[in-house]
Structure 1
């Protein structure tokens, strides 16, 4: 292979070995230890067919200790039957010819094992035969090892396949923090193909997320001393697993996402950490939904507080008006009634009649004041004549108090086609809109439009006033405008409609409310328009 490094010459390897081993005895001891560790039966036989050397594997194969093997004839150790099977190899090696073959040999436990045997002659520098080596390998054992290795490779591939098709973005690193698995989901999340990242270390797996190499969640399970508390919005450790949540701006090729990660170590059979795995889940939608829910709860708390304040202010207003107007009228009436009764007792009918005459305008005024108060709470005209007449009446009342504002109404819907449950909502929206326009808008012209389409009823209140910064208003916690826009929106949502508002500073404001209805409920009538010009 092109990338394979050339092997060092044998003499070079010996020279390097000599740097650590000072004597031939040490070298021989090392060689014996190496051969004893091999799962191969290794022997050295002299020309007289006597064993000179045998490694420890021979003890298991021959059922004899090493001292009982060395110095004995091959036939004595193998026995007559096995020696006959090995004779060809022995004689070939003594003749200076290397041979190899396989044969079945019964072991001491009775199991028949397939053995691969090699006879290798050994000659000195002059070419004279000094003996031969025998190497015997348990082919059955090698096959089992091969099958085990194949099973391990299959299991490894199955594990990689499972990781590959996991729905969560997942990657795996080894002990040296090199990436050894990078599944399809994380390819999509990062835009980085596995061919570009596999085998890379030095925190390369962090670059697609943070734009630079740095420790991330998976590194916490590899090293407890890494501090990432400040790098995550949330981080927690349960046993060997670490959980974390963070906003990652570089995810999805710069689109950004809120990510939830779990990282766990991987152990070998000895319990040592050999790597780690991290799974990453995109929780952006869930995070936004949770934030929206929290914002909705905050708005609901604010609206509830505003409702309580509005109710209290309404009570104060009614109490004040009852005290200042109706209360004063009733006090005056009591005074005239007392006078009339006093004149009656004193026998002065003319003075009593005069007191009664003075009571009439007071009673009329009290009735008018009471009517004004309850009409402000819920105008009876809404129940008697309907929403169209109520809008017209209310526009006249506002026009009386604000003669400089021109109010134009445009009605293009039949009264009986408007659902009863939204009539009061329409009135309150018109009422709140006009109140805001008079207080803050400084408008010269206001248009109120109530029309029906093929699928909806639409209310539009438009003015040419000063307008306002809508974003600043929506983000202001302390709004001293009663229920304001929040109350309008709440009424719309409760009645099944949609609410929108547009405002441009210096150009005015447009409020739009839409209620979806069936086609049968939306038969339009000819448009009626009326206006109330300032005198």
Structure 2
């Protein structure tokens, strides 16, 4: 390198000129500086390597020391092993045969145990029950057959503690029971136990029932080492049993609540079931009656009456019959009975028995027949003509003598109306009969002119009759005919026509009319009075039926029939009362009446109407305190006020509560009581017929069409009047005019 740095050779011809010595010295110093830096780095690396080598040497010394120590230990161990080998050599000779025999026995025992384990596993897998084997105090699942795993949705069970594998059982009694069996060794049996389980391993809990056995398993020393679970799912059986028990309880509750006797009789004619109603009749509880023979319970006389029906039921025939059964001297019942055979696998094993006590119904039927006969006799002896036309063809089924006297030479009974009286075909009578038959609304035809022959074959003659047509209803409330009250007013009409011929004849005819009207009023009053008794008896009998058959025991049809019968009786009673009132008004004509306070009367009537007022939210504005007393009997004034105010409520508009204003004022020497409402209102045609007897403008509410007729008759009697102003849908104003 020194030769290179300090060479003074001349440069070759044409070569680059060499740097000057100073420049070469600078370059050489630079190179030397780089070499020194490289040497410093190399020295640092050598220093670090020396330090690492020093550490490695120290570790090597430590390892060598440990190796020497282990070598010494190994030498001592080899000496001990050598000594032990020497001792084993001395003993092995005597133990070789024993060890060989023991190994052979152990191998045989191991093979036998393995065979038994395989047989146990196969048996557990094939048994049609849920079986699992748990080990240890944590109840780790060692074995679970397919049925057990299926119960838990085939989730992973084996190798896990049972409480971790089936966490949804926490809070249920099973884990505590397992702990008790593992602790005590006493077997636990659970029967029909409810279980809440995620049996599909879907997160959806199900409610099941299971019967199971928890039994401890022991090792060769008799110590408890685990548990055996043997279980069946009994959900369907338990639910079926619970449903049967619930059904039996429900059946007993239902049958005990019914007011009829219900029983089950087996093929040997012994009671196997009775409801509570039997105890009231036979003074034995249903439990005591079970197993007893029918003959012993009901007595010989009653059994003799029912024996043939029982035999037919046990032969497989459904039997329905009514009979009077003498169970005891103090227990004789009219019964309606149904026997329904119980056929199982084509064999009659018994029959169901349903007994209705119809004693009161039979007695009521007899009483109704008696009263119907009494009513028939009353009609037949009535002084006014009465007929009953039955069915759509209007057959004459009752013709009283007074009616027959209108047609003394004609045979009417049993014939249709137009067959018996063909000349009526072109008159309004068939149409009026049809109208009443179809609508049920009564109709009065006053002084109807007819061309009739009083005797068959005679020429027609003009007669005048006033007819009242009333629908007749059967026991079910259905219209089955028309009752006709006829009054021959031919003489009255002719007399009225002959009034113009002379005052003497007028006076005579008026006297005749007074007598006729008196007779008619007397008949109406007598008939309405005499009919009150039968009607009250019918009402009492219906009340008894209501008491005997509570609402819960009635069929829909029976309830409807009872309701219709109540309504018919009340309407008949109300009609009789109004007819009686009409007759009384005629009798009171001309009598002097005291003055009555209108304000007091209005207050009393409003108290009577408190219930319908509250029901309809009706509002009344009363302005009659300044009204002077009215000269009229108290009951007649009450009838006027009550009919006007009650009609204002009864015929209210369905879209608004009734609003009624009552006031009084003087008008042309009379006192006017005005009742204004906001109800349904009346058309002009309806207003023309409003005050006629039996006329009803709105048929959707109960009524007879007598109320306003009575109001008009009362006012006419004292020389007053009543008028109405009305608009359909807006309301009406009634003005009752009282003379001062």
Q: Do these two structures clear the TM 0.5 threshold for a shared fold by scoring above it? A: no
Task: Identify the structure with bigger relative contact order (alpha carbons < 8 Å, sequence gap 6+).
Answer: 1
TM-score by length of 1: 0.32
TM-score by length of 2: 0.24
Indicate the structure (1 or 2) with the bigger Cα radius of gyration: 2
